[in-house]
Amino acid sequence: MEEKAGVVYVTAEEMRKMDDITIREFHVDVLMLMENAGRATATLAKRMLRETIFGKRVACLVGGGNNGGDGMVAARHLANWGADVNVILGTTKDRMKDVPLGQLHVLEKMGIPILSANYALGDYDLLIDGLIGYGLEGNPRDRVAIMIKDANASGSPILALDLPSGMNATTGEVYDPCIKATATLTLALPKTGFLAPSASLSVGDLFLADISIPRGVYQSFGQHNILFQKETILKI
């Protein structure tokens, strides 16, 4: 845990504890956290598209964990707001956790295209990276690694969800491959890895989103300043 400009930066393990306390002790449901994270991501995506969202092509690259679930919530909101959204899977359905799989079923009912191959990422106005969450240790592999390389080569702007896929949240080590984001929307608190010099080229502009973590949880992790008095998405 470190502090910079009145904001506490947490390690992956500290973030995991923060999530656990929020869910187990305060009974804030993981679906609520996911909904807030996904809506915040969609809101920043809309801002990156200069508020002109109708007909804009957006690809949400998602993995099988909760980070991918956040990305699928973002896809739902963007589609509801008029964007032309595709969801591209970095894993197979049988390897997805139950909560993100439920989000995928919602998208299927909405008729949002779900792709696993034959995508051309350069055709999109924006890519949302929801492939890997804050628990990564080691190089991305298999389909996810290919998707990261394709995203970086696409020339399309990239919004990373929580942190760029391929980065160690605690140390900032940039694995091979790693998303090179135009902007990163990190959730609840920024991660200590963002403070590492090696991280700057992958993170891009850094924003922080309110996902409704109780104030008492923030205080228990040393964040005594109230972060979201004016805005629910802060540039840091």
Q: Are 190 and 205 in contact (CB under 8 A)?
A: no
The answer on pLDDT for 118 being more than 90 is no
Total domains in the chain come to: 1
Question: Domain of 184?
Answer: 2-235
Residue 223's CATH number: 3.40.50.10260
Q: What sign for the dihedral angle of Cα 208, 122, 102, 49?
A: positive
Confidence category of residue 117, pLDDT binned at 50, 70, 90:
confident
The whole-number pLDDT of residue 94 equals 93
Confidence category of residue 90, pLDDT binned at 50, 70, 90:
very high
Torsion of CA 13, 16, 18, 23, to 10 degrees: -160
Read off the pLDDT of residues 38-48 as tens digits, 9 standing for 90 and up.
Answer: 999 999 999 99
The whole-number pLDDT of residue 198 equals 87
Q: Whole-prediction pTM value?
A: 0.96
Read off the pLDDT of residues 23-35 as tens digits, 9 standing for 90 and up.
Answer: 999 999 999 999 9
The answer on pLDDT for 157 being more than 90 is yes
